[in-house]
């Protein structure tokens, strides 16, 4: 204990402040992919959300000045790619991400890969003008690496035919879209170098989306272009389309047709030379501006960490959190009061004479129903017993015998005749059948 000093003992506030500075200075900018949850946008204009995957989550804040540049409305469940700096929210001691940019995962992931590869190759010097090979002033043979069925090849051949019909052209057909396209293009460049039959190569295709042109952002293809012994003109897409191949090539043409004009000669040869040098100068300027932009971005991040607006952002976030806590507390209080009123109302209903009267009426209805059921059962039993007695009586009844074809013969006095000696000649007999009777005279 004697070795402790006041400088060794941290307060909680000091500890959180030190950890925040450590996270911000050491981690810097990070790229993160995740699913949005718990998204909220208070009246302050700031966004608060959680980014998660299947096993973890992290809290995030995106302040009003940055989220205005987001081109879509984030919703819970969206998969996004964010560029953010790591920080710590000192009042709670929670580490969080301060998001600077956000975009949907698909487009954002491709753009991130493009930027990462661009920075990597630029750091290795593959974009440097000192490594660019000059185009031949008067090419003797031009090689074209593109799709044999694409519009780009037709445009190149049309320009060459119009400007310099005598210039020989060697076509190296290859795919220019899809997963295997980059390898095929690289192999075609290798084939052209091994055959060494051309003075300059045009590599390109027509315009398309970022996904369509993605094979020209392949690292293997970029290194193949950079190592080619034959000067290469990159002619990918339209003028607004930019690929990694444009940066590593010896010359970038805004379109395939423009590339064909660069390697062909006509009456405007001097203007062409000027244009080529102008393109070379523009490429150098772009490379220089990219380096300066990256340096300025680093300085900007360092400035932002020390800027008073950062403190205002943290205080604004704390205010938003207090506001949300107040709203939750008010909702909880209202819910509690409503539940209490509902319980008392329920108890009042249970003690109400109306309720008790309804219960007694229900009991009376059940008793009446039981009485009716008992009477029905008694009547049913009596009917059953009567039916059994009737059946037994019918069994011993002489009428049943008559129904089977027998008859009973009686004298007029009603005496049953059982033998011939019971009657004499001239007596009238009555014979009873199942249905009616017959009268006969004894002869």
CATH number at 241 reads 3.40.50.960
**Cα–Cα dist 133/7, whole Å:** 61
pLDDT at 26 over 70: yes
DSSP three-state, residue 39: strand
Q: How far apart are the first and last CA of the chain?
A: 154
Pairing relationship of beta strands 437-441 and 428-432 according to DSSP bridges: antiparallel
Give the pairing of strands 200-205 and 232-236: parallel
Both 179 and 134 in one domain: the answer is yes
246 and 177 in a single domain? The answer is yes
Given pLDDT bands bounded at 50, 70 and 90, which one contains residue 234?
Answer: very high
Mean pLDDT for 215-234 is 92
Cα–Cα nearest to 310, from 299, 301, 297, 322? 301
- pLDDT-derived band of residue 305, with 50, 70 and 90 as boundaries? low
Domain extent, residue 241, equals 127-265
Number of Cβ within a 10 Å radius of residue 211: 12
Answer with the one of 305, 336, 367 that is the final residue of a domain: 336
Q: Is there a single domain that holds both residue 257 and residue 272?
A: no
Among 314, 336, 358, where does a domain finish? Answer: 336
Residues 6+ apart with CB under 8 A from 339: none
Do residues 138 and 221 both lie within one domain? yes
The answer to whether residues 145 and 219 belong to one domain is yes
Domain presence at residue 119: no
Instruction: Mark whether 260 and 274 lie in a shared domain.
Output: no
From 30-34, 113-117, 292-296, 335-339, the region with the lowest mean pLDDT = 113-117
Residue 316 and residue 237 in one domain: no
pLDDT score of 8: 72
The pLDDT of residue 314: 77
Number of domains in the chain: 4
Strand duo 408-411 + 57-62: pairing: unpaired
> Per mean pLDDT, which of 236-245, 254-263, 383-392 is the most reliable?
254-263
Question: What torsion, rounded to 10 degrees, do the Cα atoms 344, 348, 349, 355 define?
Answer: 160
For 319-343, write each residue's pLDDT tens digit.
888 888 999 999 999 999 999 999 9
Report residue 203's pLDDT band, with 50, 70 and 90 as the boundaries: very high
Residue 8 is classified by DSSP as T
285 pLDDT above the threshold of 80: yes
Of all residues in the chain, the percent with pLDDT exceeding 90 is 29
Phi, psi of 35 (to 5 degrees): -100, 135
In-domain check, residue 387: no
421 DSSP assignment: G
């Amino acid at each position: 204990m004697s070795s402790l000093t006041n400088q060794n003992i941290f307060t909680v506030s000091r500890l959180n402040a030190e950890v925040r500075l450590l996270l911000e200075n050491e981690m810097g900018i990070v790229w993160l992919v995740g699913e949005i949850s718990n998204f909220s946008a208070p009246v302050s204009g700031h966004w608060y959300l959680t980014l998660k995957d299947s096993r973890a989550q992290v809290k995030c804040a995106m302040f009003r000045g940055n989220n205005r540049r987001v081109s879509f409305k984030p919703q819970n469940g969206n998969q996004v790619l964010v560029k953010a700096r790591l920080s710590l929210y000192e009042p709670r001691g929670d580490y969080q991400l301060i998001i600077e940019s956000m975009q949907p995962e698909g487009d954002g992931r491709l753009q991130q890969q493009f930027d990462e590869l661009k920075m990597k190759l630029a750091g290795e010097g593959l974009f440097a003008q000192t490594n660019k090979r000059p185009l031949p002033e008067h090419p003797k043979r031009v090689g074209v690496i593109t799709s044999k069925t694409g519009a780009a090849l037709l445009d190149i051949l049309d320009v060459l035919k119009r400007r310099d019909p005598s210039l020989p052209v060697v076509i190296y057909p290859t795919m220019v879209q899809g997963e295997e396209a980059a390898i095929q293009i690289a192999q075609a460049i290798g084939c052209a170098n091994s055959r060494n039959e051309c003075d300059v190569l045009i590599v390109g295709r027509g315009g398309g989306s970022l996904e369509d042109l993605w094979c020209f952002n392949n690292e293997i293809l970029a290194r193949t272009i950079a190592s080619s012994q034959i000067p290469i003109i990159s002619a990918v897409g339209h003028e607004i389309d930019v690929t990694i191949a444009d940066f590593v090539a010896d010359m970038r043409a805004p379109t395939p047709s423009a590339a064909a004009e660069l390697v062909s000669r006509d009456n405007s040869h001097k203007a062409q030379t000027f244009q080529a040098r102008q393109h070379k100068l523009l490429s150098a300027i772009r490379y220089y501006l990219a380096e300066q932009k990256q340096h300025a971005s680093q300085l900007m991040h360092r400035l932002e960490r020390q800027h008073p607006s950062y403190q205002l952002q943290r205080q604004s976030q704390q205010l938003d959190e207090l506001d949300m806590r107040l709203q939750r507390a008010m909702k909880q209080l209202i819910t509690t009061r409503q539940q209490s009123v509902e319980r008392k109302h329920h108890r009042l209903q249970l003690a109400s004479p109306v309720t008790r009267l309804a219960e007694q009426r229900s009991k009376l209805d059940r008793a009446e129903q039981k009485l009716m059921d008992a009477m029905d059962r008694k009547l049913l039993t009596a009917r059953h017993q009567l039916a059994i007695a009737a059946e037994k009586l019918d069994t011993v009844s002489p009428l049943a015998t008559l129904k089977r074809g027998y008859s009973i013969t009686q004298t007029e006095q009603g005496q049953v005749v059982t033998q011939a000696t019971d009657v004499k000649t001239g007596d009238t007999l009555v014979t009873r059948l199942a249905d009616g009777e017959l009268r006969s005279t004894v002869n």
